[in-house]
Structure 1
Amino acid sequence: MTAKPDWLRVKAPQRERVGAVQSILRDLSLNTVCEEASCPNIGECFKAGTATFLIMGPACTRACPYCDIDFEKHPQPLDPTEPTRLAEAVRRLGLRHVVITSVNRDDLPEGGATQFACCIAQVRALMPETTIEVLIPDFCGSEDALSIVIAAGPEVINHNTETVPRLYRRVRPQGDYQRTLRLLERVRRSAPHLYTKSGIMVGLGESEAEVLETMADLRAVHCDILTIGQYLQPTPKHLKVESFVPPETFERWRLAGEQMGFLQVVSSPLTRSSYHAEQVQALMRSHPRTPKIGTL
């Protein structure tokens, strides 16, 4: 693998705090995307007492060549106790904002949407002041599955675009660019009080013009929040890094995104979908939205 430039080097995590978070996760038998996807920010986030919970896993039914999460054709049945255990972890960690994501579960009729809804309900019951963000799969385009998640009432629905349209077949072979845009558009249309979010990886061979075009597509479906980060090759068997994008380019994209009308753009080499996700609370205060009767 190509050597990383200096701007991608991170400090060693504080072992005591990381160990404390890991102890809670192990005690409650929970997975995090921080660990399963080899996130470079795990030390910073665990030190701050935050984690992005990975439900319905750890094995995924899709084998995306950029992702470090294990592929499994025959994943385990859903655990009905998982939502309760997740809510307890939120309580023990004292989280003010929680991110819940999942592996793809294309083997399930509704893609696991009901498990998302159960997790949201349990967190609401135990930690009513905690804001909830869900990073969801595309549910193979199922509107019914998406409606289940919307009805559960998270504050933020995130679905990652991942890359530019030209690279979809290579980077996200079981995904569909237009399906991603339709999902975000459906959330905005059916629940305009919710905040929508998406993320892009760069360094996979895209041009700067293609990144800007993808950003414009996301704004066209009224996406509120955008994250842009550098792709890092997890192992030699994964897609290679085509380029390391310098910090000044990420800053240009951040400014361009703000000019396009995104409410928040988090753009840096180490940015990931859930990096500093708790900042959405400030966004909600500055851009409040009131649920309309009948939307939930």
Structure 2
Amino acid sequence: MDRPFAYSNKEFEAVRQKIRQLTGINLADSKDSMVYSRLSRRLRALGHTSFQQYLAFLDTNKEETEHFINALTTNLTSFFREAHHFEALATYLESHPGAITIWCAACSSGEEAYSIAMTCAEARGSLKHNVTILASDIDSKMLEKAQAGVFPIGHVEKLNLNRRKQFFHKGKGANSGFARVIPELRTHIRFFQENLLNSHYKVKPGVDIIFCRNVMIYFDKPTQEAILKRMLALLNPRGWYIAGHSENFSHLANLMRPMGKTIYQVV
């Protein structure tokens, strides 16, 4: 493959070390082409002629750190992905009629947070309810998309007709081809930036459920344990931690016990 910028294993290792330092993410050996593809766009945008030049710039320009992280974080999501978790959430809400706080800890472009909000509205039988949803992500660009609540119509059309009619406004004219989440649904969600590697989170203790799905796979086991200890400390007794289908925490039985399909409870 023709690469206009010189790129060797040395540059790839430097990028891996930097993203791990900033976020705790461990990039696999297989991600070298992905790193080149995504960061070469930043090189072009900034007028740099080499990866070495860009990495030196990154070390001295804090503003570029956010672009660097945004470029290398993966944001694969969809509405009601891993649907069994939302079915379990609906059951939980039916048996817990009091006020509930849910933290969606890697909300990406917002589909997961809005899926939680739709489930809450359906379970409570009203758009006016007592569930608070906190939605965070490390990627500022994804958070902007999430806050806007505007999605390609093709993504929304995968939902059933009742959900499309109840929770979305279809765009017209210049907005044709898109759908916007209704304001009444968005009012229950507070979006904010959070790095899970931080020693303290903006979220306060008293959370009932944490959605953090397919995120821990990017961290090594010591980092997983450190992050989970901080997150689980925020949960109420018997609170839920909902993981992704590719994650397994059997090595952390001292912290959490399985109680369903990738659903855990604080020990």
TM-score, length-scaled by structure 2: 0.29
TM-score, length-scaled by structure 1: 0.27
Where is the strand percentage greater, Structure 1 or Structure 2?
2
